[in-house]
């Protein structure tokens, strides 16, 4: 793909209103934030939803409300999480693919996650890929580690995921793989043909990862899920503020920002 896709992960499962007063939490807040991001140049919204008390949920009604509200406002590509939150069962996490979003994340392995951990066994990954096939949902292989790319090769070899492939590299999660150019280029080197990748630099890796994605011809993810600081000690006013900066950097790099239609065409999303 010759254009740059900007994804915004507007809410996530971990960020709280205490840390980040403008974090969108209700379906309406999430849809409003998604629309602002779309206007600023995001073509994919990565979606988590929350209960009224702010805790993460995989409740179908809440997901449906958020998806419907976003779709009423704009045609941005919707990628739901199936990573869910620490402690959810695989069955809970995969549930919202039945709502037929455009895309869904597919975590490709087990990893440390701060003081917690995320478990994804190969049978669970295969079950997730099969469910995504059933509902015609395009997976994003989320890789928190180099070995996760190897797991994705197994899903591809077994015909569970069809090209073109979308990878999400999640780097700088505490106690997991950090972000640097050497690690990034090693990961890119393991990708199969017909792959696009999006880089998520968590926390302070946020801005370096944007430059890394632009330097290595990848795609960008921003948003409160990955990082709340616009600059040192300054919490971003909104998700859209991150998208605006990313779109500006894409233009400075003499590249073009991809539209939702570009994303749907490239990944053959109907």
Residues that bind Zn ion (CB under 5 A): 81
Residue 171 Cβ vs Zn ion, minimum distance, rounded to whole Å: 14
Residue 128 Cβ vs Zn ion, minimum distance, rounded to whole Å: 14
Residue nearest to Zn ion (CB): 81
* Residues forming beta bridges with residue 118, ordered by sequence position: 111
Asked if 143 contacts 168 with a C-beta cutoff of 8 angstroms, the reply is yes
For Zn ion, the closer CB: 168 or 218? 168
Residue 79 Cβ vs Zn ion, minimum distance, rounded to whole Å: 9
Distance CA 69, CA 24 (A): 13
* Residues forming beta bridges with residue 217, ordered by sequence position: none
Asked if 195 contacts 136 with a C-beta cutoff of 8 angstroms, the reply is no
47 token code pair: 């979606």
Residue 64 Cβ vs Zn ion, minimum distance, rounded to whole Å: 18
For Zn ion, the closer CB: 81 or 198? 81
Q: Is 175 left (phi over 0), alpha (psi -120 to 50) or beta?
A: left
For Zn ion, the closer CB: 12 or 218? 12
For Zn ion, the closer CB: 41 or 168? 168
Strand 49-50 to strand 56-57: parallel, antiparallel, or no bridges (unpaired)?
Answer: antiparallel
Residue 251 Cβ vs Zn ion, minimum distance, rounded to whole Å: 27
For Zn ion, the closer CB: 110 or 253? 110
Asked if 245 contacts 251 with a C-beta cutoff of 8 angstroms, the reply is no
């Amino acid at each position: 793909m010759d254009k740059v896709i900007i994804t915004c992960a507007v809410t996530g499962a971990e960020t709280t209103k205490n840390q980040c007063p403008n974090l969108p939490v209700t379906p309406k807040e999430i849809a409003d934030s998604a629309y602002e991001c779309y206007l600023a140049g995001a073509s994919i919204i990565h979606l988590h939803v929350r209960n009224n008390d702010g805790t993460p949920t995989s409740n179908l009604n809440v997901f449906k409300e958020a998806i419907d509200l976003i779709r009423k406002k704009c045609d941005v590509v919707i990628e739901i999480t199936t990573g869910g939150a620490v402690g959810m069962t695989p069955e809970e996490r995969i549930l919202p693919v039945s709502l037929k979003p455009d895309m869904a994340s597919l975590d490709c392995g087990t990893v440390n996650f701060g003081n917690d951990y995320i478990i994804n066994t190969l049978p669970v990954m295969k079950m997730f890929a099969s469910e995504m096939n059933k509902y015609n949902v395009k997976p994003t292989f989320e890789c928190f580690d180099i070995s996760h790319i190897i797991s994705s090769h197994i899903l591809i070899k077994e015909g569970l995921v069809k090209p073109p492939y979308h990878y999400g590299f999640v780097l700088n999660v505490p106690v997991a793989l950090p972000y640097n150019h050497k690690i990034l280029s090693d990961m890119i080197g393991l990708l199969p043909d017909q792959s696009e990748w999006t880089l998520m630099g968590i926390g302070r890796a946020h801005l370096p990862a944007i430059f890394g994605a632009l330097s290595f011809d990848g795609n960008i993810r921003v948003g409160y899920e990955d990082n709340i600081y616009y600059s040192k000690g300054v919490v971003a006013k909104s998700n859209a503020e991150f998208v605006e900066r990313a779109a500006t950097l894409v233009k400075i790099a003499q590249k073009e920002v991809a539209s939702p239609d570009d994303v749907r065409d490239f990944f053959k999303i109907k």
